[in-house]
Amino acid sequence: MTLEQVFSASGTLAMIGWVVLIFAPRRWAWLNLVPQIVVPLALSVLYAGFILAYFADSGGGYGSLAEVRQLFSLDELLLAGWIHYLAFDLMVGGFLAGRMDRIGIQRIVQAPILFATFMFGPVGVLLAFGTEAVVRVATPRFAKA
């Protein structure tokens, strides 16, 4: 398998997780496990393999931008870094979806927030928590009124 093939396979895997998370019904626990556990774990295994095998070869590190650039100068580690994004963004998406479900945020509103998480991880996190904050603060007042 070439690196490009691994890249494309891991992308497909992540995509399956996101499609389930954004569009599928949430009533079956086994289906929810796909985006929350199964796909992130599979991607984590892939990441662990690449990062542990190639970290030393790169001569890079975490100490400065220059070291990180050195790290990513190796295609195997660039791929590992990308898989890290895929795994963690999806896990965070599952985490946010659970929080939003518990305070009753509609799936139609969850969809753009989760899409933002899929595209730009932390941007979706900010949108989700901004939404949650207002709902949590204002709902008791609303119920009282």
Partner 1 sequence: MTSTDLSTARAPSARLSLVLTGLSVGILVVSLAANTVDPRLLDGAPVWAKPVKFALSFVVLFATVAWLETRLSPRWRDGIVLTATLALMGTSLVAEMAYMMFQAAQGEPSHFNLSTPFHTFMYTVVMFVGALVLVVGIGIFGVVAACDRDARLEPGLRLGVVLGFGLSLVLTVIVAGYMGGQAGHHVGTPSADAGTLPLVGWSTEVGDLRPAHFLSLHAMQVLPLFGWLLDRRMPGHARKGIVLIAVIYCVATFAVFAGAVAGRPLIGM
Residue labelled with tokens 């001569």: 59
**Nearest 5 degrees, angle CA 60-CA 121-CA 51?**
30
Rule CB under 8 A: is residue 128 a binding residue for partner 1?
yes
**CB count, 10 Å around CB of 11?**
13
Number of H helices, E strands in the chain: 6, 0
Q: Which stretch binds partner 1 (CB under 8 A): 8-16, 54-62, 74-82, 103-111?
A: 103-111
Residue numbers 21-40 binding partner 1 by CB under 8 A: 26-29, 32, 36
Q: Which stretch binds partner 1 (CB under 8 A): 5-13, 45-53, 75-83, 105-113?
A: 105-113
Residue 107 CB burial class (10 angstroms; 0-12, 13-18, ≥19): middle
Closer Cβ to partner 1, 6 or 87, answer by number: 87
* Residues forming the site for partner 1 (CB under 8 A): 26-29, 32, 36, 94-95, 97-99, 101-106, 108-109, 112-113, 123, 126-135, 138-139, 141-142, 145
